[in-house]
Amino acid sequence: MNFLKLLNRSLSLALFLCFFLVSAQNTEISKEEMVLAGGCFTLDGFVQTGEMDTPFYFKASGLGEYILYSKNQKYLSLDSKYRLILSGERSSEIIWKIEQEKDGKITLFHNNKGLFLGENNTLTRVKPSAKRFGLQPSIQCVPFPEADLDAKINHPLKTQNPDGTLYGLADVHNHMGAFTMANSRINAGKPFSPLGIEDALGSCQAVHGKHGIFDIGGNQIRMSGQDISKLNPLDILSGHNTKGYPSFEEYPAFDMPTHQMSYYKWLERARLGGLRLLVAYVEDSWATNTIGNFVYPLTRFDRKVENQKTDPSTYNMEKRTVEYLQFYRDLESYIDAQEGGKGKGWLRIVTSPKEAREEISKGNLALVLGMEMPTPMACADIPGRAECTEEYIREKLFEYKKLGVSVMFPVHHIDNDFSDGHHIGAAFELMQFLGSGKKIDWDECENGITPALTQNKVNNLKGIRKKIVTRYLEKNQKELPLIDPSKKYCQKNPLPEKGRILAVEMMKMGMLIDLDHNAEGARKELEELLKQEGYPALYTHSKHLLDSDNEIRTQEDGFMTTTLQTKAPTEKNACKYATTEDLMFYTQTTAQLTEKYQNFPAKMISTDFFGTLIGTGPRFNPTTNPCKTKQANPMSYPFTSFGGDVVFDKLSTGEKTWDFNGDGLANIGLLPDLIADIQAQGYTPEEIQPLFNGAEMYIRIWEQAQEVSLRLQQEKGLKYLK
């Protein structure tokens, strides 16, 4: 055990003993004074028989709900015959609702069975007969399994820069809730689970199959790199070790993006290291569900895989969107529960720049909700498509806004009523093919790509393979484009009228618009439309930010705001995958532009975790990220955060310990380590500071959008904003 971790645990024990001694002198503990979450208590009046022994560790599973964890590492539960037992199985049967009265005593109510615990460990359906248990603090509990922070706070968390602007990193593109995407056939692991870390980050076999061979996208990316157009069947079936918590034998890792990288405790560590704003996007589609159904028959013989097949005609994306957004509310409530009650958590969902400023000023992490859906509002050629009138579009946007959505992509890879999608490889062309079935309209384009799914390739097939593909196309009335393989292509179709309506209505409602997945023609028209109103546009993938000379472009009027992700390799890239060296190249370039045009040097990052993309790699691991030039100056542990407020050691979760030098950005909890790696390379505080201006910059963009929105509302006599 390292010194920092030993010191932390010693201080925690000392504080607990002080609480225990005070409690022993004053047995009248009020509800306000007693925090149950994370506490160890003996239940006065609890009948102890055999292994049914107290004290219990109280692990919050939600607001007012707890798991009671025994010394022999079992859970207080009820069996099928409604008998009180200690169980070793994790299920909803181990969750108890606890009500605490003014004198500190509690009642236990079993959620699933609808029964109170009564006298002599009996059960009753009526609350007056419930046993009121007194609580006595204890030090004899075995802590419930959980991830460590490996951090020691020395000073109050920094929230402001010397000039009064907000201090903090901004991760403006994250998909941590996308574990249900593609009918749960792509991503494994959850940011939290009411049943704890063993359920949230356990084995991925239920999703990826035995030996991970059904992690089709993840295996391809890990083996062949980021170029998803180079599909290789051998890479797809390469597999991986499926053991999750506590051993984490292979994942999470920077190059295994289909595994959860934003577990809530890792997110908390990132907050301690300066992360102050996070944008979480809803992501799913009818096309990815089709892919999930394709994988289903392959996995049906694997008994450890949770086999599900969804009828595409019943795959209601609007319903899934609502469920997805509710998940983030549940995450907020879960963190509240860990911290002692509603509103006490360090993560707050914000729906306005004013709320974001207020929460960041308190040292909290502001969570902005967004949508990155291929077919928003079901306005596309998919089962259950909507009519998509102007009134319908306005009503749906208003509904999204009431659900907390503040930013949205008009399109995501698949052509819809609002825009053609920006197709960047075989996988996304396949999504278009499966999603809407519409043939992609390619136009010759100097800086375009070579399409992957074309009639040319079908014509070059031989024998039975050609017959099968041709018969499939004819039977399903689908077409593939015919191209000139020597030329480059993009999509120059103009912005549809419904796309213009969507953009105007989003501006009226003050919703941020991300153009990074719009095809070339529609994107340029949208840029001009927004520019005319002085409305900002976001680019959180950086796909459209390079001109023909591979230089970063910007709008001189400052209306367009560019953001570049941590993982886009530069021409100067020294390693196979991007490292902090590449991040700093973009940071310096972007900061110069934002200072020139907006008088504020800033750089926002885009981890895109759970977005099936490779993250920032290590500089000192020739196996996973070989470098062309010898790397120098590795970071060292422990280290002090950039803000000087927290000391960090190596991050450990279960039996796994990560070292950024060899692991890179394996999960979001290593963001502080990423900054330390930048510092180790000799970058000055002035060169790093633009990263910590990211939260301020995002909020300024949002404020600019709302200023324009209020003007538009006044002109139209509308009232959408407070």
The tens digit of pLDDT for each residue in 604-613 reads 998 989 887 7
* Contact by Cβ (8 Å): 121, 236: no
Note the pLDDT tens digit of each residue in 91-102. Answer: 999 999 999 988
Give the lowest-confidence range in 158-162, 444-448, 461-465, 653-657. Answer: 444-448
pLDDT score recorded for residue 311? 52
- In angstroms, how far is CA 357 from the centroid of its own chain? 21
Which region holds residue 3: left if phi is over 0, alpha if psi is between -120 and 50, else beta?
alpha
- Please indicate whether residue 30 or residue 614 has the higher confidence score (pLDDT): 614
Given this model, what pLDDT does residue 102 score?
86
User: For position 25, what pLDDT does the model report?
Assistant: 34
> What's the pLDDT at 569?
53
Tokens of 163: 């000039």
Check residue 554 and give its pLDDT.
46
Q: How far apart are CA 163 and CA 387, in angstroms?
A: 51
C-alpha to C-alpha distance for 620 and 664, rounded to whole angstroms: 9
What's the whole-number mean pLDDT along residues 540-568?
48
Query: 199 by DSSP, 3-state: which?
Result: helix
Q: How far apart are CA 365 and CA 368, in angstroms?
A: 10
pLDDT at 335: 98
Q: Give me the mean pLDDT over the 565-584 stretch.
A: 74
Per-position b or e across 566-589, b if 16+ CB within 10 A of its CB: bbbbbeebbbbbbbbbbbbbbbeb
Rounded-to-integer distance, Cα 93 and Cα 111, Å: 8
Residue 619 token pair: 């500089």
Task: With residue 15 as reference, give the H or E element that holds it.
Answer: helix 3-25
Predicted local confidence at residue 400, as pLDDT: 95
- What pLDDT, on the 0 to 100 scale, is given for residue 446? 78
Token pair listed for 173: 């593109």
Q: What are the residues facing 370 on neighbouring strands?
A: 281, 407
Helix (H, G, I), strand (E, B) or coil at 135: strand
Give the mean model confidence (pLDDT) for residues 369-385.
Answer: 85
Tell me the average pLDDT across 647-662. Answer: 98
Q: Give CA–CA dist 510/498, Å, rounded.
A: 18
> What's CA 110's distance to the chain center, in Å?
32
Residues linked to residue 59 through DSSP beta bridges, in sequence order:
67
**With 0-12 CB in 10 A as exposed, 13-18 as middle and 19+ as buried, what is 699?**
buried
Check pLDDT > 50 for residue 111: yes
pLDDT category at 221 given cuts 50, 70, 90 is confident
Q: Is 34 exposed, middle or buried (0-12, 13-18, 19+ CB in 10 A)?
A: middle
Q: Are 626 and 193 in contact (CB under 8 A)?
A: no
Q: Which residues contact 179 (CB under 8 A, 6 or more apart)?
A: 187, 188, 189, 190, 260, 610
Token pair 């006599």: residue: 717
Q: Which of 227, 226, 256, 230 lies closest to 241, judged by CA?
A: 256
Distance between CA atoms of residues 508 and 720, nearest Å: 8
What are 408-457's pLDDT values in tens digits? 999 988 889 999 887 766 777 777 777 666 788 888 887 788 888 888 88
Which has the higher per-residue pLDDT, 653 or 50?
A: 653
Which of 227 and 580 is assigned the larger pLDDT?
580
pLDDT at residue 238 in the model: 78
Longest dimension (CA), the chain: 87
Q: What is the per-residue pLDDT for 294?
A: 58
Looking at residue 443, what is its pLDDT?
A: 87
Q: Among 59-68, 94-103, 469-478, whose mean pLDDT is lowest?
A: 469-478
Burial (Cβ within 10 Å: 0-12, 13-18, ≥19) of residue 431? buried
Which DSSP helix (H) or strand (E) runs through 59? strand 56-62
Q: Are 435 and 444 in contact (CB under 8 A)?
A: no
State residue 7's pLDDT score. 44
3-state secondary structure of 720: coil
Contact 440, 481 (CB under 8 A): yes
- pLDDT, residue 712, reads 92
**Amino acid 225: pLDDT:** 62
Contact of 267 with 365, CB cutoff 8 Å:
yes
3-state secondary structure at position 49: strand
> pLDDT of 150-190, one tens digit each?
999 999 999 999 999 999 999 999 999 988 877 777 889 99
At 6 the pLDDT is 44
Q: What is the mean pLDDT of residues 101-129?
A: 93
Q: Whose CA is closest to 682, among 576, 581, 587? A: 581
pLDDT in tens, 528-537: 999 999 999 8
Rounded mean pLDDT of 562-577? 62
Domains in the chain, CATH or no CATH each: 3-137 (2.80.10.50), 183-260+285-315 (no CATH), 443-490 (no CATH)
- At 586, the pLDDT band (50, 70, 90 cuts) reads confident
pLDDT surpasses 50 at 334: yes
Tell me which DSSP letter residue 538 carries: E
Q: Which residue has the higher pLDDT, 679 or 421?
A: 679
Q: Which residues make Cβ contacts (< 8 Å) with residue 309, sequence separation at least 6?
A: 183, 293, 296
Average pLDDT over residues 328-357: 97
Of the candidate ranges 530-534, 577-581, 585-589, 718-722, the one whose mean pLDDT is the lowest: 718-722
Q: Is 276 helix (H, G, I), strand (E, B) or coil?
A: strand
Above 70 in pLDDT, residue 506?
yes
What is the predicted pLDDT for the residue at 178?
A: 87
Q: Phi and psi at residue 202, in whole multiples of 5°?
A: -75, -160
Mean pLDDT across the chain: 84
How much of the chain is in helix, strand and coil states, percent to nearest 5? Answer: 35, 15, 45
User: Percentage of residues in the chain with pLDDT exceeding 90?
Assistant: 54
pLDDT grade, residue 23 (50/70/90)?
Answer: very low
pLDDT at 252 over 90: yes
How far apart are the C-alpha atoms of 566 and 9, rounded to whole Å?
34
More confident residue, 689 or 424: 689
- Residue 218: closest CA among 229, 230, 233, 208: 208
